[in-house]
Amino acid sequence: MSRSVDPLTIGAIVVIASLGAGFGAGWGLKPDASVKALEAQTEAIEALQAGQSQMLEQATRPVVIDAELKATLAEVPVQCRRDMGGDPMSVACQWATCLQFGQSSAQRPECRAVEQLMIEGMTPR
């Protein structure tokens, strides 16, 4: 018992197989997008490293404060200077002033009450 296969079926199988082989070959030969992605990532890393190097260079420079500014800051704490964003009537100003006098005076003031008041003001309610 031999069966003969219809030539139309053989033709359809050949066409489908050819399309599958062509699709596979095309997929295998397509340009690789990962190369472009790696190149873009490399460029981004280089830019990041350059930015970090520049930031490190800026951060390692010494801070220069001129003598006039040092003298002004030594007289009045920053927390008390309006031009520096402070408030002379604030608890922070009172605390900084108390600490300043405590560092330079033989009769050291007790700053615990002002410190406690400042901590209470910072604590969220």
Cβ-count burial of 55 within 10 angstroms (0-12 exposed, 13-18 middle, 19+ buried)? exposed
Instruction: Let me know if residue 11 belongs to a domain.
Output: no
Mean pLDDT score of the chain? 79
Instruction: Let me know if residue 77 belongs to a domain.
Output: yes
> Are 115 and 72 found together in one domain?
yes
Instruction: Let me know if residue 72 belongs to a domain.
Output: yes
> Are 117 and 73 found together in one domain?
yes
> Helix or strand or coil: residue 12?
helix
> Are 49 and 72 found together in one domain?
no
What local confidence, expressed as pLDDT, does residue 105 receive?
54
Nearest CA among 90, 91, 109 for reference residue 99: 109
Token readout for 87 is 């408030």
User: Measured on CA atoms in the order 38, 40, 44, 46, is the torsion positive or negative?
Assistant: positive
Angstrom distance (rounded) from CA 125 to CA 119: 12
Instruction: Let me know if residue 115 belongs to a domain.
Output: yes
Instruction: Let me know if residue 102 belongs to a domain.
Output: yes
Angstrom distance (rounded) from CA 79 to CA 86: 4
Confidence of residue 59 (pLDDT cuts 50, 70, 90): confident
Q: Which domain holds residue 107?
A: 67-122
Tally of domains within the chain: 2
Confidence (pTM): 0.38
Q: Give the mean pLDDT of 8-17.
A: 82
